[in-house]
Amino acid sequence: FVPASTRDNATALVTTMEQIDLVHKMCDKYPETFELALSTGDIERIVKAGKIASLIGMEGGHSIENSLQNLNRLYDRGARYMTLTHSKTLDWADSATDEAKNNGLTDFGKEVVAEMNRLGMLIDISHVSEKVMNDVLDISEAPVIFSHSSAKSICDHPRNVSDAILRRLPENGGVVMINFMSGYVVPTDELKREPNARGNYKMVADHIEHVIKVAGIDYVGIGSDFDGVPSTPVGLDDVADYPNLTQELLERGYNEEQIHKVLGANVMRVFKAAEASSKRLNVTAAK
């Protein structure tokens, strides 16, 4: 994670490159545990070998410093997904938690989306304004992800996803990966009564179910955000608690195939679709 504030002193790109270098060094130092994954084929092979497939992503388009060349440089270093904005509005895209200055995506922002499609880089529209979400869904050639967002109709926070956007997901094929942060999960009325309420893992299941009811079982996943939030629901303190969520979904009547989709298969489908779209776009461009 590279703070959006690095944009102010023009250190976003270099800081991102340094963090990517650390991922490479970690994989080199502990090859028996970690391996860098650059494709879905890599993920499947690495997991089959009993190791952790490590993917590189960028949380915020400030990392490219308004340059498609930099986007390509970061892809070449291993980045395979990018959140278009983080907490601050950029010159080319509006953030959900900052003043909107661009009415969604600018022309350059649309070029970023097109280039990410061409590269096969996953477009992450967590953190962006709803207008940006709609703009991306209008133009993206590949399915998108919300890497860590929840359902706005349950918890009315600008970081969450409205039903209007959820209804558009099946056409795009994208996935909303539910964020575990208490402030994005606990129902609105309860947060009004107790702003510091933690909630519990059953509330996360409520968000998963809501996305399923509005969009479908193929369009929801897990986005935890364990490394970036101050509070998570009771029963989801870390990855060791995932069985609580799995058991809850079983008790709600979901079968093994459906739960497998939620826990990772849906995201793999999106990644594979982005790879296929990239191949198609590059073949078309070569003609």
pTM for this one? 0.96
Among the listed residues 151, 154, 105, 108, the one whose alpha carbon sits nearest the alpha carbon of residue 128: 105
283 Cβ neighbours under 8 A, 6+ residues apart:
none
The secondary structure of the chain in percent helix, strand, coil, rounded to multiples of 5, reads 50, 15, 35
Per residue in 201-214, pLDDT tens? 999 999 999 999 99
Residue range 47-59, pLDDT digits in tens: 999 999 999 999 9
| Residue 255 to residue 249: CA distance in whole angstroms | 8
Residue 287's pLDDT is what? 73
DSSP string, 204-227: HHHHHHHHHHHT-GGGEEEEE-TT
* 144: β partners: none
Average pLDDT, the chain: 97
CA-wise closest residue to 132 among 95, 172, 81, 87: 95
The C-alpha atoms of residue 43 and residue 36 are separated, in whole angstroms, by 9
Percent of the chain residues past pLDDT 90, beyond the cut: 97
> Positive or negative, the Cα torsion across 21, 24, 28, 30?
positive
Q: How confident is the model at residue 286 (pLDDT cuts 50, 70, 90)?
A: confident
Sign of the four-CA dihedral 135, 58, 172, 187: negative
Q: pLDDT for 235-276, tens place per residue? A: 999 999 999 999 999 999 999 999 999 999 999 999 999 999
